[in-house]
Chains A and B, each alone.
Chain A
């Protein structure tokens, strides 16, 4: 129990540490990969809490998601390498206030909630996976399907937006050239 708590704390601190790096660096790739390792540390926290499937899934998903995010940040930011001295921060006072309130709320919820009795032993990992499968294909199916359709719609919309429009300018060009 104490060893588990120790590892949860270590990975939690690592997650916070990498989270801080995300905002301390000017390089978009460093920022994206720091976020990746922060999320990986969260995955390791799941593992330390004997939630094997969720931990492994988190570690797997974040690697590809954050890498893809890195290339989008490099593509769209003006100073992807962070060598131009661009300052990305803005609304600093508002951000500090909002961050402080959010952190205080999260800590208050964690401390004041009634979490119920501590489970002495988690079900074994294979049973957890099985139960998660039944949950996802049963009670939670509607939520997951809604999320999936929303993401698919966003992907199609993003692709449609990215396709260049047919150029009416060509007609003008042809007309003027005539």
Chain B
């Protein structure tokens, strides 16, 4: 039952997000827009480029979708509303989302197109920049909870959310999550106007529909992770726990869309430089501060 509810919640959140995205792009709020757009994709011809690496080309969109959903499977909506409450939940979340990179490399290499390939390898370069900024803030979160179990991590924030306890970790994780979701200003692998869509460029029809759905679910999963790790998860007054989780997830996801809407695309070299020279020392400082707080404050 939990599986059905969590999957339904994921889809509803993704639908809401697609509606907001369409609103920011067209200026018109149309609740049926995501559905109509999806149906239009299904109706279009799904073109296969000349001499593709067929296995990679077909696998990439599905792998991206599966990675996003596996990441969401270990994030709790409420104390008992989680698909798999693993003992290594926080680590599993990283493991699942590591395959986003694999999917993008496959999607870049598979179609045998220059723009797509540049996009795929760019994402690898991007990963080298942000990967540590996903893992190191989660380490500090797990330190406070003294557990890798995601429900325990939410439980550790009952009195004080991690966004207050470790604000530096939150900022780093939020930025890295946007880079992992390759949303603007970190949309280097797709880079419309520069790479003509990059990894998306050669996909059409059903395959593009799956790819777009996967990207939306990825944003929802990362927003949900931000909620679980930093915004107290299901904790909140009056409303039922699942409602708080959904509200916070939606708020984070919409904030990611808005931030991307107003910022210009970052250069690869700048992203690498800032993440390595500034981000990683700050993430280490965050771990040190959290360690001190754990030792000093009872």
**Interface residue A154 (Cβ < 8 Å from any Cβ of B):** no
> What residues of chain A lie closer than 8 Å to B99, measured between beta carbons?
63
Contact present for A64 and B101 (CB under 8 Å): yes
Taken residue by residue from 109 to 140, chain A's Cβ proximity to chain B (1 for < 8 Å, 0 otherwise) reads as: 00000000000000011101100000000000
Q: What's the Cα separation between A70 and B123 when bound, in Å?
A: 13
> What residues of chain A lie closer than 8 Å to B106, measured between beta carbons?
33
Q: What's the Cα separation between A32 and B95 when bound, in Å?
A: 18
Knowing A27-B53, A29-B109, A60-B95, say if A67 contacts B87 (CB, 8 Å).
no
Contact present for B87 and A36 (CB under 8 Å): no
The residue in chain B whose Cβ has the minimal distance to the Cβ of A83 is B51
The residue in chain B whose Cβ has the minimal distance to the Cβ of A124 is B87
Q: What's the Cα separation between A29 and B57 when bound, in Å?
A: 13
Contact present for B88 and A63 (CB under 8 Å): no
> What residues of chain A lie closer than 8 Å to B121, measured between beta carbons?
71
**Interface residue A68 (Cβ < 8 Å from any Cβ of B):** yes
The residue in chain A whose Cβ has the minimal distance to the Cβ of B121 is A71
Chain B interface main SS type: helix
The residue in chain B whose Cβ has the minimal distance to the Cβ of A40 is B99
Task: Please report the number of residue pairs spanning A and B whose Cβ atoms sit closer than 8 angstroms.
Answer: 62
Q: What's the Cα separation between A109 and B200 when bound, in Å?
A: 49
> What residues of chain A lie closer than 8 Å to B56, measured between beta carbons?
29-30, 33
A170 to chain B, nearest CB (A): 25
Q: What's the Cα separation between A36 and B124 when bound, in Å?
A: 15
The residue in chain B whose Cβ has the minimal distance to the Cβ of A70 is B105
Chain B residues 86-140 with CB under 8 Å of chain A are: 86-88, 91-92, 94-95, 98-99, 101-102, 105-106, 109, 121, 124, 127-128, 131
Pick the residue among B55, B95, B149 that contacts A63 (CB under 8 A): B95
Chain A interface main SS type: helix
Pick the residue among A33, A52, A63, A70 that contacts B86 (CB under 8 A): A52
Contact present for B95 and A64 (CB under 8 Å): no
Pick the residue among B91, B124, B147, B148 that contacts A68 (CB under 8 A): B124
Contact present for A52 and B88 (CB under 8 Å): yes
Chain B residues 194-250 with CB under 8 Å of chain A are: none
A89 to chain B, nearest CB (A): 21
> What residues of chain A lie closer than 8 Å to B87, measured between beta carbons?
52-53, 124-126, 128-129
A15 to chain B, nearest CB (A): 17
Contact present for A57 and B147 (CB under 8 Å): no
> What residues of chain A lie closer than 8 Å to B95, measured between beta carbons?
56-57, 59-60, 63
Contact present for A67 and B88 (CB under 8 Å): no
Pick the residue among B92, B102, B147, B148 that contacts A36 (CB under 8 A): B102
Q: What's the Cα separation between A60 and B97 when bound, in Å?
A: 8
Contact present for B53 and A60 (CB under 8 Å): no
Contact present for B88 and A56 (CB under 8 Å): yes
Contact present for A60 and B124 (CB under 8 Å): no
Shortest 9 CB-CB contacts between residues of A and residues of B:
A125-B87, A60-B95, A63-B98, A126-B87, A59-B95, A56-B88, A29-B109, A56-B92, A56-B95
Sample of 10 further A-B pairs with CB below 8 A, known A29-B105, A125-B86: A33-B105, A53-B87, A56-B91, A60-B95, A60-B98, A64-B127, A70-B105, A126-B87, A126-B147, A129-B88
